[in-house]
């Protein structure tokens, strides 16, 4: 600010000198000193000329700087300008905007790099005056669908007519559905398309995300295998490590010439421990075999009420012992095409899970209910126990995962596999401090 004020002072001094010179020259002319007055007017002319170029140069600097800012041209370096000190405020504004521009360019490069490395097809449209324009297309979309990075919506329609037709039929509104697209001139692949629309600074944007169902499934399978290997390796090491240690200890004992009574007791204890761990390992393998060799469902028609009553009757002695109130809210009947024995096993597993969840609850209650929606039967089993902690919600259906010391960790996994073998699904949710397991069966 001080430097800019100094510029104004210099300009003011020039005006004072010019006005003073004019006054003195007029005074000299009136006194008859004509030549001296003419010389004074000449000096005044030179001062006016110098001030003209001074002001012109100042306006030129401002004009060049403002033009660069308006055109987003930040290639100039005004720090070495000869008049930098006189226009420091203006140049600092330029430098601040230049730094912000560089930061934005860096962010754009990072964002672009992230979008181009995501294995999801992404295309962003921007509303123009007459039609949509392609604001962004990531590399995955361009390479996977063999579409050049074009800028017009009409060009994209020539390459992917099926995709564009769906979007236009929905009038560029939010969509979430699956569709088939021919890829690389080969067989069609199924994709999940999800779109969204937003307005930013009076600009209308339409975002399209395309995920290959095959890639999603492969990713989920990979994650499942990694988790399964972690659990299996953990169980195996928990048994093999102590067995190996005890075997080493037994080997040292039997190599002694004399075996004392104390050593004999150690040997008996070691053998008993090895046998116990071996039994645990055998049970673990049997559990895995039970999961891996689940027989196909032998379906037959059975009434929903009969299926529920059979399961509750089997569990009735345990309910009575644990003082659990069971409420059956199913007030309608419906014929299901399922394997009765397998579905009873699912219900028993879920009811058993509820019993363990109610262990620390005073007023224990289990509610069984059902509803029918769009040719699907939903069976809900609800308890008022403590529920599942948020940290382990994603793991409850993982094979061999359990929070109970005596649990094998296959009940929920086996139940999930059985329901899925019937063409349905098993889900969990927590509502109003109540744990709810939902069995969804498709009518067929």
Predicted local distance difference test score (pLDDT) of residue 227: 65
Asked whether residue 147 carries a pLDDT value surpassing 60, the answer given is yes
Q: What pLDDT does residue 367 have?
A: 92
Query: Is pLDDT at 1 greater than 50 in this prediction?
Result: no
pLDDT of 221 reads 62
In whole angstroms, what is the distance from residue 232 CA to residue 236 CA? 6
Residue 18 has pLDDT above 70, yes or no: yes
Q: Which residues contact 80 (CB under 8 A, 6 or more apart)?
A: none
User: What is the average pLDDT across 332-351?
Assistant: 87
pLDDT at 277 over 50: yes
Q: What's the mean pLDDT in 20-38?
A: 80
Contact call for residues 123 and 134 (beta carbons, < 8 A): yes
Residue 139 confidence (pLDDT) above 60: yes
Q: Which of 231-235, 279-283, 324-328 has the lowest mean pLDDT?
A: 231-235
The 10s digit of each residue's pLDDT in 344-398 is 888 988 888 888 888 778 888 999 999 988 788 999 999 887 766 665 555 666 6
| Confidence (pLDDT) at 201 | 78
Mean pLDDT, rounded, of the chain = 78
Q: Which range (32-46, 215-229, 253-267, 294-308) has the least confidence?
A: 215-229
Q: Which domains does the chain have, with CATH numbers?
A: 2-100 (no CATH), 117-213 (3.30.450.20), 217-292 (1.10.287), 300-442 (3.30.565.10)
Q: What is the pLDDT of residues 224-234, one digit of tens each?
A: 667 667 666 76
Percent of the chain residues topping a pLDDT of 70: 77
**Position 2 confidence tier, pLDDT thresholds 50, 70, 90:** very low
pLDDT of residue 161: 83
Report CA dihedral (104, 110, 116, 122) to the nearest 10 degrees.
-50
Residue 289 pLDDT > 60: yes
The answer, yes or no, to whether residue 3 has pLDDT greater than 50, is no
Residue, of 427 and 62, whose pLDDT is higher:
427
Is residue 238 over pLDDT 70? Answer: no
Q: Is the pLDDT of residue 27 over 50?
A: yes
Query: In angstroms, what CA-CA distances link 377 with 70, 338, 354, 429, 439?
Result: 64, 12, 21, 17, 8
- Determine which of 4-18, 286-300, 402-416 has the lowest per-residue pLDDT on average: 402-416
Q: What angle do CA 407, 409, 414 make, to 5 degrees?
A: 130
pLDDT band at 293 (very low <50, low <70, confident <90, very high): low
* Distance between first and last Cα of the chain: 82
- pLDDT tens-digit map of 35-52: 887 887 888 888 888 877
Return left, alpha or beta for 184; rule: phi > 0 is left, psi -120 to 50 is alpha, else beta: left
Q: Which of 85, 17, 4, 81 is nearest to 51 (CA)?
A: 17
Taking the CA atoms of residue 349, residue 353, residue 356 and residue 361 in that order, the dihedral angle to the nearest 10 degrees is -130
The alpha-carbon radius of gyration of the chain (Å, integer) is 41
Query: pLDDT over 90 for what percent of the chain?
Result: 3
Q: In sequence order, what are the residues at sequence separation of 6 or more whose Cβ sits closer than 8 angstroms to the Cβ of residue 204? A: 126, 127, 197
Number of H helices, E strands in the chain: 11, 12
pLDDT at 31: 76
Residue with the larger pLDDT of the pair 206 and 93: 206
Task: Provide mean pLDDT across the span 63-77.
Answer: 72
Pairwise CA distance, residues 45 & 22, whole Å: 10
């Amino acid at each position: 600010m001080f430097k800019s004020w100094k510029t104004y002072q210099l300009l003011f001094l020039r005006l004072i000198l010019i006005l003073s010179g004019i006054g003195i020259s007029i005074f000299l002319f009136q006194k008859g000193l004509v030549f001296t007055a003419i010389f004074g007017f000449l000096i005044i002319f030179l001062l006016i000329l110098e001030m003209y170029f001074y002001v012109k140069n100042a306006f030129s600097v401002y004009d060049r700087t403002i033009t660069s800012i308006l055109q987003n041209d930040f290639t100039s370096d005004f720090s070495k300008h000869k008049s930098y000190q006189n226009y420091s405020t203006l140049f600092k504004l330029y430098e601040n905007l230049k730094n912000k521009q560089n930061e934005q360019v860096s962010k754009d490069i990072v964002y672009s790099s992230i979008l181009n490395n995501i294995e999801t097809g992404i295309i962003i449209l921007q509303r123009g005056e007459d039609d949509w324009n392609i604001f962004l297309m990531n590399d995955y979309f361009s390479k996977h669908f063999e579409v050049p990075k074009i800028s017009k919506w009409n060009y994209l329609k020539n390459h992917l007519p099926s995709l564009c037709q769906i979007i236009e039929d929905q009038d560029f509104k939010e969509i979430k559905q699956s569709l088939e697209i021919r890829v690389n001139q080969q067989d069609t692949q199924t994709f999940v398309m999800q779109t969204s629309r937003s307005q930013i600074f009076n600009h209308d944007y339409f975002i399209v995300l395309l995920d290959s169902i095959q890639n999603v499934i492969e990713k989920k399978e990979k994650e499942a295998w990694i988790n399964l290997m972690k659990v299996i390796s953990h169980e195996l090491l928990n048994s093999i490590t102590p067995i190996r240690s005890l075997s080493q200890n037994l080997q040292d004992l039997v190599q002694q010439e004399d075996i004392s009574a104390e050593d004999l007791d150690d040997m008996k204890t070691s053998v008993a421990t090895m046998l116990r761990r071996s039994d645990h390992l055998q049970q673990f393998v049997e559990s895995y075999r039970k999961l891996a060799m689940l027989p196909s469902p032998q379906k037959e028609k059975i009434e929903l009420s009969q299926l529920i009553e059979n399961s509750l009757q089997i569990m009735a002695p345990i309910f009575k012992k644990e003082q659990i109130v069971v409420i059956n809210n199913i007030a309608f009947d419906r014929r299901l095409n399922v394997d009765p024995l397998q579905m009873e096993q699912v219900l028993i597993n879920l009811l058993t899970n509820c019993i363990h969840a109610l262990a620390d609850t005073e007023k224990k209650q289990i509610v069984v209910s059902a509803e029918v929606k769009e040719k699907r039967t939903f069976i809900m089993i609800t308890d008022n126990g403590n529920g599942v902690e948020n940290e382990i919600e994603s793991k409850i259906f993982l094979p061999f995962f359990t929070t109970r010391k005596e649990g094998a960790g296959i009940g929920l996994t086996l139940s999930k596999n059985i329901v899925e073998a019937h063409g349905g699904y098993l889900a969990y949710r927590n509502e109003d401090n109540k744990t709810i397991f939902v069995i969804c069966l498709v009518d067929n």
